[in-house]
Structure 1
Amino acid sequence: MLVLGIETSCDETAAALVDDTRAIRGELVASQLDEHRKFGGVVPEVAARAHLDLLDAIVREVMQRAGLTFADLDVVAATGGPGLIGGVLVGVTTAKAIALAAGKKFVAVNHLEAHALTARLTDDVQFPYLLLLVSGGHCQLLVVEGVGQYRRWGTTIDDAAGEAFDKSAKLLGLGYPGGPALEAAAKLGDPTRFPLPRSMVGKPGCDFSFSGLKTAVRTAIEKAGAHDLPDLAASAQAAIAEQLADRTARAAKRFTQEYPAGKQLVVAGGVAANATVRARLAAVAAKHGLDFVAPPPRLCTDNATMVAWAGLERARLNMFDGLDFAPRPRWPLDATAPKVAFAGVKA
């Protein structure tokens, strides 16, 4: 089985080819960093227009590099949500057009599921496993029981961890994208210098909260000098990593009790590329007798390889979608989990 994957949910325009031997037959990602840097963040309309300009050429280049045509495909998969709806529309429409013209099956992939299943492509992880899905827009702890089968044990009640990285970096004047910039600055600093809050550490449950960190960083900056910025960056990174480790440890303890057949703790999403976060999570996994699995950094950030793989996983189970599929700005993995609004108010 050969699958073409398309990813346009945020500010990366990407296409990739993956087959059922786990071979990546081709992949290409076009970043929009330069377009959004002057705004200090992603502008949805700018992103959608860039996807529209870039996607056809990227798909064509990936197919040509692999020496394949659309006739060689079995499935066309695209991120169907969640994400910036303008960009998602571009990717889904392109994928539908290819599927219709070539007479191929179409799969609409949940972007979060694409992250969740990446470890099965890279490390052949078996179900069930515990997953920390951590990115700019999402921060969740889930049990992955199978394709399309998720149990959410924790989520953020306000900001996501990646958002905390980005906002802290912006306050510190470190530029965009904030996460990598803050990590680089933190290498030069003392993570114990500023006692920044770890809002949920030690509390019951597996939920997260990062909004207080942003306020504390702003307050610290008002009292600090330029020479303190590396220490502030290191302290912010340490606060985020400690909360992620604490919440994950609680989930790992529960996971080993309720899922004795489960052997892995997996981290996925853009924040999974952070070395400090990885080290803290690896220690949590070891303490609870779990193998720690983190995909390569290039497959943690948004990419089409994960979309193609998720499409392949669903296609194996005949989980195809019609060409009437409607893109979704929101698409929870666990539809039975309670909805969480800002300030921790459960809807």
Structure 2
Amino acid sequence: MVLYLGIETSCDDTAVALMENEKCLANEIITQDSSMFGGVVPEYASREHMDVLPKLIDSILIRNNVTLHDLSFIAATQGPGLLGSVMVGVQYAKSLAWSLNIPWIGIHHLEGHAIIAKWNSSLEFPFGILLVSGGHTCIILANELSKYEILGSSMDDAVGEMFDKVGRCMGFPNPAGPYMEEYAKKSKSAIEFTIPLKNDDSMNFSFSGLKTAAIRFWDQSDKSEQTKSDICMGLQKTVAKSLESRLENVWKSYNIKSWVFAGGVASNLYIREKITNLCEQNGKNIFIPEPKLCRDNGLMIAYTGYLYYKKGIVSQYNESAIANYKIDHIKFK
């Protein structure tokens, strides 16, 4: 029996999971309220992690009748993310593991998002990844654990970042994505926005122009609730079409049979349905984590750590948090 913790603190969510082999015993998230600031404040986020993380771990262990001495290893997000936030999780995991004389395993945040799709599924390497979140929008080829190749990425804003910036202008709390998804359901006539890089054959993305167009449309509109809904639906449709076009460009050069759609934006039911339909129409196997596992969570970090642990791969105690950690630069000493 292998009992272990997964800690995720890359941004403003404090997330911890407790697992026994491949069974999830707990997966809990405490989200900070940053609405008073209009967005995430790094210093505030890291201080909240310092306060919340020990209490959350203690609570999970007590409710599952487990002690720290029962643990085999501790996994934590090593990056990328807000440096202060990532440091809290890494330092806590390393210190706790060292005191217990057990390994700690530093996990790449994006790898965690992708690998959780393997949990309780038939997904096997190699596979393609369409990862769309608040901080990243990219297409990645996963050859094996820790071996990734970036095929395309956003040249400016990530999709989730674009949603947040537009949503803030329209008065939505942060993160705006879930609220905008609900508003889109009330749309009567979606606003038609230009699809970014429409005639471009590359695998890269761009969403800053779409962001600017949506904000300008809102500023010049009647600012009614209906207009707000129509903008939200228009953004969803345009993002979906942009993602579809990039996948189609990839498929012209890469014969990748299995695909993962991951990241916080993958929880958007409209967009995930469009990506699912596109993959199925093109004979691709599509794997999408359930919506609650698309957002940042401790389970994705724990399970990825477990796969490394089974291979005998662990991190050194002198390794540190890496704010700008590239997924094609994962190395274990």
- Same fold at TM > 0.5: yes
Partner of 1:196 in structure 2?
Answer: 193
Q: Is the 8 A contact 1:122 1:295 kept in 2?
A: no
- Mapped to 2, the partners of 1:252 and 1:284 lie a distance apart of 12
Partner of 2:229 in structure 1?
Answer: 230
Q: Is the 8 A contact 1:190 1:234 kept in 2?
A: no
Partner of 1:243 in structure 2?
Answer: 242
**Deviation (angstroms), 1:301:** 0.4
Question: CA offsets, 1:162-194, max 9 Å, x none?
Answer: 1111112112222322101111111111464x2
AA partner of residue 264 (structure 2): G
**Deviation (angstroms), 1:222:** 2.8
- Mapped to 2, the partners of 1:335 and 1:89 lie a distance apart of 19
SS at match of 2:182: helix
AA partner of residue 231 (structure 2): L
Mapping for residues 172-191 of structure 1, pairs under 5 Å: 172-190=170-188
Mapping for residues 275-290 of structure 1, pairs under 5 Å: 275-290=269-284
| Higher alpha-carbon deviation: 38-47 or 169-178 | 169-178
In structure 2, relative to structure 1, the CA distance for the partners of 1:122 and 1:31 (3 Å cut) is farther
SS at match of 1:281: helix
Partner of 1:6 in structure 2?
Answer: 7
Structure 2 unaligned residues grouped into runs of 5+: none
Partner of 1:270 in structure 2?
Answer: 264
AA partner of residue 314 (structure 2): F
- Mapped to 1, the partners of 2:42 and 2:282 lie a distance apart of 41
- Mapped to 2, the partners of 1:120 and 1:191 lie a distance apart of 38
Is 2:303 the counterpart of 1:302?
A: no
Q: Percent identity?
A: 35
TM normalised by structure 1 equals 0.91
AA partner of residue 314 (structure 1): Y
- List structure 1 runs of 4+ shifted beyond 4 angstroms: none
Partner of 1:25 in structure 2?
Answer: 25
Q: Is the 8 A contact 1:139 1:161 kept in 2?
A: yes
- Mapped to 1, the partners of 2:122 and 2:48 lie a distance apart of 34
- Mapped to 2, the partners of 1:216 and 1:122 lie a distance apart of 41
AA partner of residue 236 (structure 2): Q
Is 2:97 the counterpart of 1:99?
A: yes
Question: CA offsets, 1:286-337, max 9 Å, x none?
Answer: 122112211111111011111101111111222211110111001111249x
Partner of 1:211 in structure 2?
Answer: 208
In structure 2, relative to structure 1, the CA distance for the partners of 1:315 and 1:170 (3 Å cut) is same
Q: Is the 8 A contact 1:253 1:288 kept in 2?
A: no
Question: CA offsets, 1:57-107, max 9 Å, x none?
Answer: 101111122221122211111111111111111111111111111111110
User: Aligned to 1:127, which of 125, 131, 137?
Assistant: 125
Partner of 1:39 in structure 2?
Answer: 37
TM normalised by structure 2 equals 0.94
- Mapped to 2, the partners of 1:271 and 1:42 lie a distance apart of 18
AA partner of residue 206 (structure 2): S
**Deviation (angstroms), 1:253:** 4.2
Is 2:40 the counterpart of 1:77?
A: no
SS at match of 1:108: strand
- Mapped to 2, the partners of 1:122 and 1:271 lie a distance apart of 21
In structure 2, relative to structure 1, the CA distance for the partners of 1:284 and 1:253 (3 Å cut) is farther
